[in-house]
A and B are shown apart, each in its own frame.
Chain A
Amino acid sequence: MEGRHGQKKEKAESPEALKAREEKEAVLVREYLGLKDSLKEIVDSNRRDNEALKITTALLRKSPDYYTIWNVRRTILKEGFLDNANEETANIIYTNELEFVQDNLRLNPKSYFMWNHRRWCLENMSKPRWDKELGMVGKFLEMDARNFHGWDYRRYIIRQVDLQDGQNKDTVLARAQTEFDFTTAKISQNFSNYSAWHNRSTLLGKLVENLTEQEREATVDNEFDLVKNAIYTDPEDQSAWLYDLWLIGREQRSISTLGASVISFNPLEIVVAFDEIVKLRHPFTVSTRIDHVAIPLAGEWRATGSDASLGSVWIFQQAPEVEYGPSVEVVIFSDDICAVRAGSTLPAAVCFELETLNQDFASISGRLGRLEIGKNLMYDVTKRIGPIAEPAGNLETQERSKKHLVTSLTTSGSMDDRVALLDREIASVRELVELEPDCKWPIQILSTLLSELRKTMSIHSSRAKEIDDECIELQEKLISIDPLRQERYEDRRTQLVFDRETLSIVKDSKRLPEVEFAENQPRDLDLSMRGLTHIPISSYFIHLDTLNLDSNAITSTRFLRNLLSVRRLNLSNNLIERLEGVQHAPSLEFLSLEGNQIAKWEDVMAGFVFWREGKLSRTGATVKVLLGLNPVVENEGGEYVLEKRWEDVGEVGVQIQWQTDEVRLAEEVQLRDDEGVIHMEGTRRVSATVVEFDAGAGH
C-alpha cells in the first residue's frame, strides 16, 4: 500500500524515448487532474447521481488506495440510491459494487480499501451470498496462496457465517473441519505455505476440543506425520518446522522464589529473590506477631536497580517508626506478581518466616549467607495471615499428578505421556540430523526437544547433565552452520552453560522443576572463560562474596543491581562498553574492568549516577575500579578528565583508580592470596588518580 513494491528500475532511455514518455505522461496527468476537479465539484455540490458515481469509478480504477473516494462513493450510493431503494434494487446495486471491486482486486489484490468496500457491501446487503464469497477468495488464493488479505478475508467470511447461524455448535464445527481440509489441500500443493500452516493451528484447537483422549491422540499423530512429510521433502523450509515446534509445545515455566532474608533491622529491610524478572501487581504481604496477634506491617516493596517496578530481587523497607515482633512473615500470592516473560507464573502462594529477634550481624553479606527458603502454600487463600499448610503427598506424587500445561494439543495430563512423546520425537529428529548434518532446523528442534525433556527431570540427575552437555554442543554446531544468527545461539549457549555452572547454588524444590537456593551456599564463584554473553539469572548471585567473570563475552553490567553482597567482582576481558548498576551493588569494593571496550568517561560515570537511601545507599563507600586496557584510558589523558568528571557527578563517594601494569600485577597477587579486606595502602602507585567525594546532603 505505502511504497512501491517490486517495480524494476528501467534502463536509461534515449532522449527521443524520454520525450515521448513525458508527453504521454502529461496527457495522463491532465486526464487525472480533470477527474479530480470533477470530484471536487461533486463533493462541493453534494451531487448523488449516476454521473457522480461514474467519476468515482474512473478515479478508483486509477488510484484504488485513494480512500476518500471510496468514502465519497459509499455516500453517493447510500444517499443517492440505497436509501430509497427496495430490497431487490438494493441487492442489484450491492452486487454491482461487488463486481466492480472484484475486477479491481484482480489488478490490486493487496489494496486494503477495496477489501473493505467489499465488506461494507456484504454487511449491508439483506442476503449476502457468503458461499459465493468463499469461492471468490478461494480463486484469489489460487493466484497467490500467501496473500494475507485473502486469508484474512476468508477467516472473516467464516466468522460472519458462524455469527449468522447463531454459533450453532455442529455447523460451526463442520465449517472448521472444511476450512481445516482446505489448509490440508493447500499444504499438499505446497508444503511451504506458511499461511495454511498458520490457519491450521487456529482450527485444530477448535476441532480437538470435543474429541476423546484416543481420538485426540490419533489427530496429533496425524499432524506429526504431515509435518514429517513436509520436513523430509525440504528440511530447510521453516514453515513445517515452526508448526512442529508448536505441536511439541512448551511446558509452562514456573516462577520460583529462591529465598528471603532480613538485611537490616532499623529500618527493617527484607530481601526476596526470584529466579526471573517479575513485575509487582500487588505488594507482598508482610506481617508480624505482637502479643500473639498478627498485624500487617506497613512499608514499601522495590526492585533493586534504577527501575524499581520490575526485577528478580525485591526489597521491603518498613514505614518509619513501626514496631515489629520477634519474627516477621512474608506471603507472596500467585497473583501478586507476573513474569516479564510470557507464560510463567508462581504456581502457589509462598510464605517466608524470618527471625528478627537475633539482630547479630554487621553487614548485609552476613545475613545473605543465611537465606530462608520459602514454604509452599498449596492453596491460594486471599491475603491470609496465619499458619502455613504443608504441601500434601511426597514429591513424586505431587509431580505425577500435576497437569502439564503445554499446548492444547499435546496436553494429555500425565508426565509419563509427555516423556513418551518427547522420546519418540527426539528419536525421529535424530534420524534427520544424521541424514542432514548441516541443516540447522533439525538441530534447533532437537535442542528444543531435549530442553523440554530436561524439564521433566531433576536438574541434578545425570541424565539432565548429559542433556545440558549435548545441547551446548548443538549450539556450537548451529553457530558454525548458521553464522547469521550466531549471537542468538551464543545467548542460548550462555543460558545452558549458566544452568550447568550454577547447579551448586540451587536445588530442586518440592515443586520440581522449580528451584530454590541450596542450604550450603558457596560464597565464591568462578565463571571465567565460559563464553557467557550475559548473566541469565543474576538473583542467583545475591549472596556471593566474590565473583569471577573474567574472559567472557558479557556486554552489559546491569546484573550488578542484584549483587547485594559481592565485594569483589572480576569482569576483565569482556565486551562492556558502558558501566551500569554499580550504584546498586552496596557491598562492592573492588571491580576489575580491564580489557573492556569503555571508550568514554560518561560511560564509566553512568554507573555512579543514582543511589538510594537506606542500607543500600553508597554514602561514603569506596569502590576501586580498574580500567586499564580500555579505550577510555588510551584515548584521553587521564587525570584531568577524570577529575573534571567527578565534579560533574559528585553524588557517590567512590574511589576510582587505574594503575600501571606493575601495580596491577601487585593487585593480582593480592587478589589470589587475599582472604579478607584488601589494603591498598603501601602499594606503589604510578600515575594513579584518587578522587573522593562525599554524597551530597540533598540526596
Chain B
Amino acid sequence: MSHSPAPSSPELLLDQHVKYIKELDTKKNDLEYWLTEHLRVNGLYWGTTALHLLGRPEALDHDQIVEYLVKCQHDNGGFGGHIDHDPHILSTLSAVQVLITYDRLDAINVDRVVDYITSLHNPDGTFSGDAWGETDTRFIFCALNCLSLLKRLDDKRLNLDKTIEYIVRCRNFDGGFGSAPGGESHAAQVYVCVGSLTILGAQQHIDADQLGWWLSERQLKNGGLNGRPEKLEDVCYSWWVLSSLSMLKRVHWIDGAKLTKFILEAQDTETGGISDRPGNLPDVFHTNFGICGLSLLGYPGLVVVDPIYCMPRHVIQRIGLADKH
C-alpha cells in the first residue's frame, strides 16, 4: 500500500501552515475572531494537534496556553469554550487533549473533570453535552475519549453496557451510525460511534465490511470525500471517513494518492491554512483535519496521528493507550 502523492500533487506548505496557526490569535481586528470566541479551546486543540503533527510542537507557548486553559475550567470541573463561557463536554475534551499533549495534566484537577463528565451520564447510556441536556452520539464519544485519556473508564458511576446498547441502536440499514436512534448515517457520526465502540472494545457490533463499503463510497472522482451519499466533498471528511476506515483496518479501500492531492489543493498558498475545498477560505478546523488526514495517509515527514484519539501517536503511546485497541 503506497500513498505517495500523485506526480502533479502540490507540496505540503509546512512553514506556511505553522505561521497561519501561530498568527490565529493576532487577528483581533477581524469580526470573525470575536464571533468564533466560543470555539477558542477547541481551536487550541486543533492548532496544537496540527503543529505537533507538523513537527513544530514549540510553535505555540505551552505555558501561556496551560495558564489560559486553567482559567476556562469551572468549579464543576467542566471547561468552557473560552474564559467565562459555560462548561460543555466539547470544550472539556479539547482542553484535556491539549493538556495531555503537553503532558501538563498536573495543572488541573482531574477528579473534578471526571465528576463533570459522569454528571452528564444518563440512565440510557448517553451523555449530555452540558447541563441543558442535549444528547448526541458525539457527546458519548467526547465522554469516552476523555475518560479513556484520563484512565477513568472504570469509574463506578458509569454504565457503559448501556452506552454500547445505545450506540448499537444508532446503527442503520447501511451499516453506518447517526446522531441518535433513527438518525441518518453521517461520516462524522460514524467516526464517533466507531471510536466509542473501539475504545470500549466492542467493535463486534460493527459490520466492518458493510460499513467499510459505505465509507469507501464517500470518495468522489476528484479524490475528496463527502460525509453522506450524493453530497459535496469536504476536507474535514478526510478525517472522519479515513479514521473510521483506519479503526476498521480498511484505509486502503480508498485511493490515498488522490485524496492526498485533494487535501493539498485545498491549501491556501497565500496565507497558509487549509479550507473545506479548493478555492475557499481556510480555517484552523480544516487545517487540522486536513493535516490529520495526510498523516493517516502516511504523508512523508508528518508525525503519525492516532486514528481513535486524533492526537499524535507518540502521545498516546506515552500514556500507554497505544496497544489497547
Contact = CB atoms under 8 A, between A and B. Distances in A.
B280 A8 contact: yes
A58 interface: no
Contact of A4 (B37, B252, B254, B281): B281
Given A25-B30, A238-B230, A9 B208 contact: no
* Chain A contact patch, size range: 35 or more
Nearest to A24: B31
**Secondary structure of the B contact surface, majority rule:** loop
Interface string B28-40: 1111001101110
Of the candidates A22, A155, A192, the one having the most CB atoms from chain B within 10 angstroms of its own CB is A155
A26 B228 contact: no
A339 B207 CA distance: 10
Of the candidates A9, A25, A63, A491, the one having the most CB atoms from chain B within 10 angstroms of its own CB is A9
Interface string B255-270: 1001000000000100
A472 to B, nearest CB: 17
Contact of A29 (B34, B219, B254): B34
Contacts of B183: 148, 151-152, 155
B206 A62 contact: no
A555 B29 contact: no
Interface residues of B, number: 70
Nearest to B91: A67
Given A155-B182, A198-B185, A238-B230, A120 B132 contact: yes
Contacts of B185: 198
Interface string B239-281: 0000000000010111100100000000010000001100111
Contacts of B179: 148, 152
Contact of A192 (B80, B85, B173, B230): B230
Contact of A340 (B204, B284, B285): B204
A496 B188 CA distance: 32
A484 B86 CA distance: 45
B279 to A, nearest CB: 6
A202 interface: yes
Given A198-B172, A198-B184, A487-B252, A65 B38 contact: yes
Contacts, number: 173
B1 A575 contact: yes
B161 interface: no
Of the candidates A28, A29, A484, the one having the most CB atoms from chain B within 10 angstroms of its own CB is A484
B62 interface: no
A246 interface: yes
A242 B1 contact: no
A342 B172 contact: no
B166 interface: no
B250 A341 contact: no
Interface in B199-254: 203-210, 212-214, 216-217, 219, 221, 223, 228-231, 234, 236, 250, 252-254
B42 interface: yes
Contact of A67 (B38, B223, B250, B280): B38
A199 interface: yes
A528 interface: no
A2 interface: yes
B38 A485 contact: no
B283 A3 contact: yes
Interface in B151-174: 172-174
Contact of A3 (B174, B208, B276): B276
A202 B182 contact: yes
A32 B203 CA distance: 47
Contacts of B212: 488
A568 B146 CA distance: 47
A169 to B, nearest CB: 19
A343 B285 contact: no
A6 interface: yes
A4 B1 contact: no
A67 B185 CA distance: 25
A575 B31 CA distance: 53
Given A9-B279, A116-B134, A195-B184, A32 B268 contact: no
A9 B268 contact: yes
A112 B203 CA distance: 29
Given A74-B132, A202-B182, A338 B39 contact: no
B44 to A, nearest CB: 13
Q: Which 9 A-B pairs rank lowest in CB-CB distance, beginning with the nearest? A: A3-B285, A342-B207, A201-B173, A488-B253, A246-B173, A487-B252, A194-B229, A3-B283, A484-B255
Given A28-B31, A279-B204, 15 more contacts: A2-B42, A2-B285, A3-B276, A25-B30, A71-B132, A194-B184, A195-B184, A237-B230, A243-B173, A245-B174, A484-B219, A484-B258, A485-B255, A488-B213, A555-B1
Interface of B: 1, 28-31, 34-35, 37-39, 42, 80-81, 84-86, 88, 130, 132, 134, 172-174, 178-180, 182-186, 203-210, 212-214, 216-217, 219, 221, 223, 228-231, 234, 236, 250, 252-255, 258, 268, 275-276, 279-286
Interface of A: 2-9, 22, 25-26, 28-29, 32-33, 36, 40, 43, 62-63, 65-68, 71, 74, 112, 116, 120, 146, 148, 151-152, 155, 192, 194-195, 198-199, 201-202, 237-239, 242-243, 245-246, 279, 338-343, 407, 483-488, 491, 555, 575
